[in-house]
Structure 1
Amino acid sequence: MSKVLNNDKFFQLLTLFIILQPILDILTNAMLQFTNSSITIGILIRMLFMGIALFFIFFGSQHPYKKQVSIYLALLLLVLGIGFINNYFQKPVFNLFIEVQWLTKVIYFSVMICSIYLLFQNKKNVDFIKTRLLNYIIYALVIIGVSILIAIITNTSVDSYEWVKAGFKGWFYSANELSALLAIGFPLSILFAIRKTKSWYSFWVWIPALLVALIGALIGTKVGLFAVYITCIFISLFIAIHYIVASIKKTNDRKILLPTFVYSIALLAVILIVSPFTPGYQNLSVELPEPDQEDIDKGFEDVPGQGGNGESSGESEDEIIEGEDTRVTFEINSPIVNKILSSRHIYFTWQLNQMIRADVSQKILGMGYAGNYINNRKTIEMDFFDIFFSFGVIGFILVMLPLFMLIGIVLKKLFTNFKQIFHVENISLIISILLGLGIALIAGHVWVAPAVNLYLALSMVLLYINLKTNE
């Protein structure tokens, strides 16, 4: 069976799949705009590729750790599957299509990161695969950037926001997912430029990074703008440190590091000059209305036994009245935190109270999509909390296992090979990953968004391979 989909064939399919990402997203938006179908070409192609990736993992790969990866995925599918069945009997409202869709989105990331990792089956082809993957990521980012510019110029771009705020998302559907994608991809575009810079004549390799940076600011989200600032400042700083060290040691690297540093500073300067005229910068001063108490209390109507539809929980009236005094609430008095979270802490309290009163099996295996809702079906839009409440303690640990392993090796390298961590290439990947994880925590639409999490999976695998190769 390995001959049907071996390492080389899957690698070719993956590179094609990467470059197809923006095209799939544009077609998905078109289908959502002009048809009533909830099943889009983006969903179909991505689910098809996930099936191909699973086939490669179980039957095509010849990686030394194929057995361990296969056991991990089989265990993940088993645990999440048991939780799915349990929620069919436990949840007050169980929407089969939505639950399956949500489950698939979470599994998608695990399958992608495992299949990409198994591509690196021997050390001889590591650099070739890394270079090709990075090149195709840049091709995809350039397609996104150029398409948005064309949409803006032709006045066919869709606004990022329906009211108050400004921004352009081109022909794409979600501004949040688009800005998260570009935030993760921007450090990779700089990494591409760093690897390609060989002399002062290599300025053209910085054009993709400039394009991605400008598009990130034009979308209008805080995520896109701050990701550009953070990336440029930190990577420029580390390039400067490497240049100073190379100059002191008088190594040949300083001849390449000097133009690299100058171009990174030039990129930062252009962004600082241009950004005040972009929607992303202008939206920072826009104040949105705070939710009133009625909106806050509305969610508690969905917590069985807490002033809502108590009959769905099978509790007596006395137990329901008693439960009204036991709900957990969080008040955040900081305007800055409220602005960052955009009321997500309210939705967190809804699901926390549902989890507190849930059956033991749901505490362990999760409550599925949006928890034990009755009328108000709403996720928190903070990926790690959504995954925890949806799949419980065991499910959360299994879903996050690749991240825990990466954190483990980074911590190990900090104590055993400090210099390796602070190599410019690894710093670029770490920034990409930290931005992705930060956005996943605060704004969501990363770990559970197939259009975005492929880029995060690629960054995580590339960093893991870099740190493990020299062991």
Structure 2
Amino acid sequence: MVFIACLIQPVLDVISFWTDRLGLPSAITLGMRLALLCFLVLYAFILTERKKLYVIAFVLLILFTVCHCAVTAINGADDLIGDITNLVRIYHFPVVTLCFITFLKSDEASYDSIKKAFVFALIIIAAVDILSVITNTNPYTYKDKEIGLAGWFYFANTQSAIISVLVCIFDTQVIKRFRNNIPMMVFLLFLSMGMLFLFATRLTYAAILLIGFGLITVLIITDRKNIKPMIALALVTLCFTALFPVSPMYNNQKRVRENAVKKQEKIELLIDEKEKKLKNEDLTEEEFKTERLRDAYKEYLGGIVKRFGLEKAVEEFSYSEKAEDICDDRRIKITYNELLAREQGSNVRLFGLELADLAIGKYNHDVENDFHGIYYLCGITGLVLLAGFILYFVFIIFKALIQDFKNKFDLESGAWGISLITLLMHVYATAGVLRRPNGSFYLSVTLAVIYYLATKNISKGPEDSVKRKTDV
């Protein structure tokens, strides 16, 4: 069951990609994922000896949903079903984490199943990438620039997080399997890290360095006598480091800088043209200062101007004429959400905005990183609950390492720790994990595995049925 649940993830992602490409309803894959989630929950609930934990979790989620829906109803809910669907996507993460903790505690063979499934999942993704190139259907990571090998996967930021985790676990298994065969290790490590290299995002390139140098550090601590894996990792990591000037990621960033220059030129042109039109109008100095920015702000801050007015837009952006300010999508979306939260009152600060309120006309202001997304869509309450859930596992990690570092820290536990860091990097920088079930699935499994490895014979936790003695 565990093996299939992990292995089917890239298959579901490919189906999602093609349903979108063919204009089919997204309900198809949403229904498949929901069915899988229900099956996992039911199976875990049957297995666990601590059913109260699941009951408490679901009561908590239901109460939060009621509070959130009540707040959005007060402010005039436009799409209650869509909002609840968004909440279910968020709930997917903690619920699946609990399920996999149960699976691992119930059957230790589940751990090997997860590792094998992750290896095969990466192979499936690699095969899909190759097929997309052969059939000329690669959608590119950056479609407008035709940069990056994305394969048949729908959301680039999520796929970036997924392959970062899978490559880390794959590389660990390569090292264990071929630890005395440097050529084979170099070959397989180069292929796996090459997937990150070709994906072309800054986060996947950072993942190459984190995985490469991170695993070397783990090996130095745990197995310094065998230098062959360290040599292989160093060769491959340094190779991709040397290739930085010719990397797709570097090319994309170069294009981004070029586009920023063009946007700045356009902003200056729009302002100059508007000033000429305003010369013959009877305006106060303050009115002129605002109106001269109208065309530029409508071009790049159209949603904010349309929803809150030009005066509010120039106030929030301090009358800036710089592209780095008014063309910063991340800042624009956060500003829109913040203005909306101020307008709708303190209740939304506690339980969140309605997702539908973030769109106005052709503009969508759904924020571009997960923590801001949780804050604005679930409020402080949701953010505290989710952050507390994640921090609990961080606490478990440090507790295990302090109590029994020698036995608890090895190549595999180090690799899962590195995987967690890559995922949290994506949570911080993108909206591709916590609110995307296909991305949060890997965070759930990673946390469950870390919990399993950290609590073996150490202490009682949320899925232990008996009290265990603490290792010292």
Shorter-chain TM range is 0.7 to 0.9
1:272, 1:441 → 2: CA distance? Answer: 24
Unaligned runs of 5+ in 2: 265-295, 459-472
Question: How far has the Cα of 1:145 moved from its partner?
Answer: 1.0
* Map of 2:82 onto structure 1: 98
Inter-partner Cα distance in structure 2 for 1:338 and 1:231: 33
Partner of 2:302: 298
Confirm or deny: 8 A CA contact 1:217 1:275 kept in the other structure: no
For the residue of structure 2 that corresponds to 1:265, the secondary structure is helix
Q: Does the CA-based 8 Å contact 2:65-2:84 persist in structure 1?
A: no
Q: CA deviation at 1:348?
A: 0.9
Q: Is the 8 A contact 1:166 1:279 kept in 2?
A: yes
Alpha-carbon shift at residue 160 of structure 1 (Å):
2.4
Which residue of 390, 400, 407 maps to 2:394? 407
Partner residue, 2:101 = 117
From 290, 311, 336, the counterpart of 1:350: 336
Length, aligned pairs only: 422
Say if 1:206 and 1:139 are closer, same or farther in 2 by CA, change over 3 A. Answer: farther
Q: Could you tell me whether the CA contact under 8 Å between 1:28 and 1:173 is conserved in 2?
A: yes
Q: What is the match of residue 235 of structure 1?
A: 215
Partners of 1:211 and 1:455 lie apart in 2 by 21
Residue 78 of structure 1 corresponds to 63
Give the distance between the partners of 2:337 and 2:23, measured in 1 at CA: 33
Bigger shift: residues 388-397 or 187-196: 187-196
SS in structure 2 of the partner of residue 446 of structure 1: coil
Structure 1 residue 272: Cα displacement: 3.7
CA separation in 1, counterparts of 2:341 and 2:314? Answer: 13
Find the aligned partners of 1:343 and 1:419 in 2 and give their Cα distance: 46
1:5-404 correspondence to structure 2 within 5 Å:
12=1, 14-40=2-28, 42-58=29-45, 60-63=46-49, 65-91=50-76, 94-122=78-106, 125-126=107-108, 128-164=109-145, 166-197=147-178, 199-201=179-181, 204=184, 209-244=189-224, 254=225, 257-272=226-241, 276-286=245-255, 287=257, 288-289=259-260, 293-294=297-298, 297-301=301-305, 306-307=308-309, 324=312, 343-369=329-355, 371=357, 375=361, 376-404=363-391
1:227 to partner: Cα distance? 1.1
Q: 1:412 to 1:293 in 2, by over 3 A?
A: farther
- The CA distance in 1 between the partners of 2:394 and 2:455, in whole Å, is 13
Q: Which amino acid aligns with 2:329?
A: S
- Shift of the 457–205 alpha-carbon distance from structure 1 to 2, 3 Å rule, reads farther
Of residues 443, 446, 459, the one that matches 1:459 is 446
2:417 is equivalent to residue 437 of structure 1 = no
Aligned to 2:470: none
CA distance in 2 between partners of 1:332 and 1:261 (Å): 50
Distance 1:56 1:450 in 2: 19
SS across alignment from 2:344:
coil
**Alpha-carbon distance in structure 2 between the residues aligned to 1:417 and 1:332:** 55
* CA-based RMSD: 3.3
CA distance in 2 between partners of 1:75 and 1:206 (Å)? 48
Give 1:367 deviation, angstroms: 1.1
TM-score (normalised: structure 2): 0.79
Inter-CA distance 270–175: structure 2 relative to 1 (3 Å threshold)? same
Give yes or no for contact 2:14–2:153 (8 Å, CA) kept in 1: yes
Letter in 2 for 1:233: F
Q: Which runs of 5+ in 1 are unaligned?
A: 1-11, 245-253, 309-320
Q: Deviations over 1:371-403 (max 9, x none)?
A: 566554421121111111111122222333430
Cα-to-partner distance string for 1:306-332 (whole Å, 9 max, x where unaligned): 548xxxxxxxxxxxx9xx599766899
Q: Is the 8 A contact 1:302 1:372 kept in 2?
A: no
- What's the CA shift for 1:208? 5.5
Is the contact made by 1:223 and 1:439 (CA closer than 8 Å) also made in structure 2? yes
Deviation at 1:364, TM superposition (A): 1.4
Q: Pick closer, same or farther for the CA change 1:428–1:387 going to 2, 3 Å.
A: same
TM-score, with structure 1 as normaliser: 0.79
Counterparts in 2 of 1:156 and 1:302: CA distance versus 1, 3 Å = closer
What SS class does the counterpart of residue 355 from structure 2 fall into? Answer: coil
Report the equivalent of 2:455.
Answer: 468
